[in-house]
Amino acid sequence: MKNIAIVTGASSGIGKEFFLSLQDRAEGIDEIWVVARSEDKLRALASLTTPPVRVFALDLSRAESASALKKALEEEETSIKYLICASGFGRFQSVEADELSVLENMIDLNCRSILSVTKICAPYMQKGGAMILIASISAFQPVPYIATYAATKSFVLSYGRALNRELRKSRGARVLCVCPFWTKTAFFDRATTENEVVKKYAVMYEPSQIVKRAWKDLKKKNRDVSVCGAYSKGQALLVKLLPHKWVMSIWLKQQKLK
């Protein structure tokens, strides 16, 4: 039986940081499977950890990509200790101004691929193992001009928390939904458009802070959501208490979008 960890979005940002953090948790992991589109970046990861790395250069927004993972899992006797789903992207743009194909692609990657990968991996999760799904602080609220992205992350949060209850019962495994606020990664290269939407970044975290918090939260038996930092926690709480009409108005005012 081969014990593995799988990281999607391992080529960059938060996913790469999770990949690197597995070095400290390498005991009991025979292989790390890494998934993203950039094959070169994935290959370069091999020298950074002790367990051997297996590269899956896949565009997860394509429905057929997940079946490559399914095939690989079926071919070997594998047991998954960690599944970390970090592939994703967002766009700062009004729904009207953005391309339909881009928004649909975002749903394919941020939602459908999370469903496919977690569903395919669920039967292989080992007792005490965990799925870590990267949602976003925007999962807690509707966000005009980042509307589709925030909605995709609400899906991840709702789906992940519910799946957590199912997997705990069926396999003794966990799901943790990680909800980062702004984090210094290549995310913004793809998110920003010619129309400046976000003018004020209230906070900016390092990927290492998000990942460190997530591993700490995973140690807490009943935790299914990980929010890093006092500012993020404060916002998540306020958003829970205030009517979402107000929350959206505050956001629009803050970003001078009114």
Ligand X SMILES: NC(=O)c1ccc[n+]([C@@H]2O[C@H](COP(=O)([O-])OP(=O)(O)OC[C@H]3O[C@@H](n4cnc5c(N)ncnc54)[C@H](OP(=O)(O)O)[C@@H]3O)[C@@H](O)[C@H]2O)c1
Instruction: Work out which of 6, 22, 60, 239 binds ligand X, going by CB under 6 A.
Output: 60
Residue 13 sits in the site that holds ligand X (CB under 6 A): yes
Instruction: Work out which of 31, 72, 161, 182 binds ligand X, going by CB under 6 A.
Output: 182
Question: Which lies closer to ligand X via its Cβ, residue 189 or residue 194?
Answer: 189
Residue 51 sits in the site that holds ligand X (CB under 6 A): no
Residue 70, SS3 per DSSP? helix
**CA of residue 18 relative to chain centroid, distance:** 10
Residue 34 sits in the site that holds ligand X (CB under 6 A): no
Buried b (16+ CB within 10 A) or exposed e, 203-224: eebebeebbebbbebbeeeeeb
Instruction: Work out which of 5, 6, 12, 120 binds ligand X, going by CB under 6 A.
Output: 12
What's the closest the beta carbon of residue 210 comes to ligand X, in angstroms?
8
Residue 89 sits in the site that holds ligand X (CB under 6 A): yes
Element (H, E) at 218: helix 207-219
Residue 6 phi/psi, 5-degree rounding, is -120, 130
Listed in order, strand segments (DSSP E) in 37-167 are 53-57, 78-85, 125-134
Residue 206 sits in the site that holds ligand X (CB under 6 A): no
Residue 30 sits in the site that holds ligand X (CB under 6 A): no
Residue 155 sits in the site that holds ligand X (CB under 6 A): no
Question: Which lies closer to ligand X via its Cβ, residue 126 or residue 207?
Answer: 207
Among the listed residues 48, 25, 241, the one whose alpha carbon sits nearest the alpha carbon of residue 34: 48
Stretch in the footprint of ligand X (CB under 6 A) among 32-40, 140-148, 228-236, 249-257: 32-40
Please, where are the H alpha helices in 47-146?
Answer: 65-75, 100-107, 113-121
**β-strand partners of 85:** 8, 133
Count of residues that interact with ligand X, criterion CB under 6 A: 27
Instruction: Work out which of 21, 61, 126, 232 binds ligand X, going by CB under 6 A.
Output: 61
Residue 162 sits in the site that holds ligand X (CB under 6 A): no
Residues 6+ apart with CB under 8 A from 135: 153, 154, 156, 157, 160, 177, 178, 179
Question: Which lies closer to ligand X via its Cβ, residue 162 or residue 186?
Answer: 186
Question: Which lies closer to ligand X via its Cβ, residue 58 or residue 126?
Answer: 58
Instruction: Work out which of 32, 66, 84, 90 binds ligand X, going by CB under 6 A.
Output: 90
Stretch in the footprint of ligand X (CB under 6 A) among 44-52, 123-131, 185-193, 236-244: 185-193
The side-by-side arrangement of strands in the sheet containing 125-134 is 53-57, 31-36, 2-8, 78-85, 125-134, 174-178, 225-226
Residue 183 sits in the site that holds ligand X (CB under 6 A): yes
Contacts with ligand X by CB under 6 A lie at: 9, 11-15, 36-38, 41, 59-61, 86-90, 109, 134, 136, 180, 182-183, 185-187
